[in-house]
Chains A and B, each alone.
Chain A
Amino acid sequence: MRIVVNGQPMEVPEGLTIEDLLGELRIRRDFTAVALNREVAGRSSYGTTVLREGDRLEIVHPMAGGA
């Protein structure tokens, strides 16, 4: 199935959780947050949230910036 992660279309297997995706993409967990279809996904939900076709995810972390 197709999902979009940080604006990038991706083909992923059915049944993938947020946890699986973060592992697959080798994303650091400290100071990282995920929004699924515009809503913030709580850390505790990563393992149980199964992604669906067409889901849009934003994976963010702090970056250098002032204003």
Chain B
Amino acid sequence: MWDEPLVLRGRSFRSRLIVGTGKYPSFPVMRRCHEVSGTEMVTVAVRRVDLSRQGESLLDYIDTSRITLLPNTAGCYTADEAVRTAYLAREAGLGDFVKLEVIGDEKTLFPDVQGLLEATKTLSREGFIVLPYTNDDPVVARRLEEAGAAAIMPLGAPIGSGLGIRNPYNIRIILEAAAVPVIVDAGVGTASDAAIAMELGCHGVLMNTAIAQARDPEAMAEAMKLAVEAGRLAYKAGRIGRKLYASASSPLTGVPEWAPLP
């Protein structure tokens, strides 16, 4: 299927599936999942180097010639922490993209939208390509776009919950108003969730746990690739309207008669 690429601040991606690097059974399994999923962008955390034990690097298992890195600010609870983490990521050579997270609550991992807006403003001004993880609030989405976000990344459901797209109507409202791409980030549990996000018209889906923690991560990576493509194709094809009653697909005329013979 021909499809226009996903464009984030002038950078084009053919794959609309962004995946994580966490919670896989092993780095080799992660690498195979990345390959099978067809992803061109993976998110990574930024953490302290373990001074006592320096082994292999995560980056040894990511083909950076094909895959763009998306450093995240997971674990940051203030705009200041998130901004400093983004700077560190850029200095480490991880590029200009940042999956911006400013977490407001430990239990739900819902975003602190005030901190998120502040950090989006600062980092956009400093030339970062900011992809903020936010809740599914259309007003916040608009504010993020005004603050310079290169995309809006509303959650479908809490991070790691696998509950799917809990409020498709809000996602639709965000899509209607947004001039930047909308990427569902978090909540996807299985392939149909990813397909639903794409059928709504989302420009991409970001997921980690759904693949990494599946019983067979590689098979799920392939399922997700197909689901994102199928959902996208269905969106472009334009679905039929919903009706309460049946409407036959065969002609109503020319039906043979089988009246009993006289």
State yes or no: do A and B come from one complex: yes
In the complex the two chains form, what is the Cα distance from A30 to B22 in whole Å?
20
Q: How large is the interface on B (under 10, 10 to 19, 20 to 34, 35 or more residues)?
A: 35 or more
B212:A66 contact, CB within 8 angstroms: yes
Chain-A contact segment, one of B5-13, B40-48, B221-229? B40-48
In the complex the two chains form, what is the Cα distance from A60 to B126 in whole Å?
21
Total A-B residue contacts, Cβ distance less than 8 Å: 119
B45:A32 contact, CB within 8 angstroms: no
* Chain B residue at smallest Cβ distance from A43: B91
B48:A66 contact, CB within 8 angstroms: no
Q: Which residues of A contact B27 (CB under 8 A)?
A: 64
B72:A58 contact, CB within 8 angstroms: no
In the complex the two chains form, what is the Cα distance from A33 to B92 in whole Å?
4
> Which of B45, B59, B207 has a CB less than 8 Å from the CB of A30?
B59
* Chain B residue at smallest Cβ distance from A63: B47
B22:A60 contact, CB within 8 angstroms: no
Q: Does B23 contact A (CB under 8 A)?
A: yes
Q: Does B1 contact A (CB under 8 A)?
A: no
B185:A35 contact, CB within 8 angstroms: no
A60:B88 contact, CB within 8 angstroms: yes
A33:B88 contact, CB within 8 angstroms: yes
> Which of A31, A38, A40, A58 has a CB less than 8 Å from the CB of B57?
A31
Knowing A60-B48, A60-B49, the reply to whether A67 touches B94 (Cβ < 8 A) is: no
> Which of B47, B159, B160 has a CB less than 8 Å from the CB of A61?
B47
- Fill in one digit per residue for A32-67: 1 if any B CB lies within 8 Å of its CB, else 0: 111100101111000000000000001111111111
Q: Does B209 contact A (CB under 8 A)?
A: yes
Q: Which residues of B contact A42 (CB under 8 A)?
A: 91
- Fill in one digit per residue for B162-176: 1 if any A CB lies within 8 Å of its CB, else 0: 000000000000000
- Fill in one digit per residue for B38-65: 1 if any A CB lies within 8 Å of its CB, else 0: 0000011111110100100111000000
Q: Does B36 contact A (CB under 8 A)?
A: no
In the complex the two chains form, what is the Cα distance from A60 to B94 in whole Å?
12
Knowing A33-B88, A64-B21, A65-B43, the reply to whether A59 touches B59 (Cβ < 8 A) is: no
- Fill in one digit per residue for A3-30: 1 if any B CB lies within 8 Å of its CB, else 0: 0011110000000000000000111101
Q: Which residues of A contact B196 (CB under 8 A)?
A: none
In the complex the two chains form, what is the Cα distance from A41 to B87 in whole Å?
10
Q: Does B24 contact A (CB under 8 A)?
A: yes
Knowing A38-B84, A40-B84, the reply to whether A59 touches B49 (Cβ < 8 A) is: yes
Q: Does B97 contact A (CB under 8 A)?
A: no
Contacts A/B (CB < 8 Å), 11 sampled: A6-B49, A26-B54, A30-B57, A31-B93, A33-B88, A58-B48, A59-B49, A63-B45, A65-B208, A66-B43, A67-B159
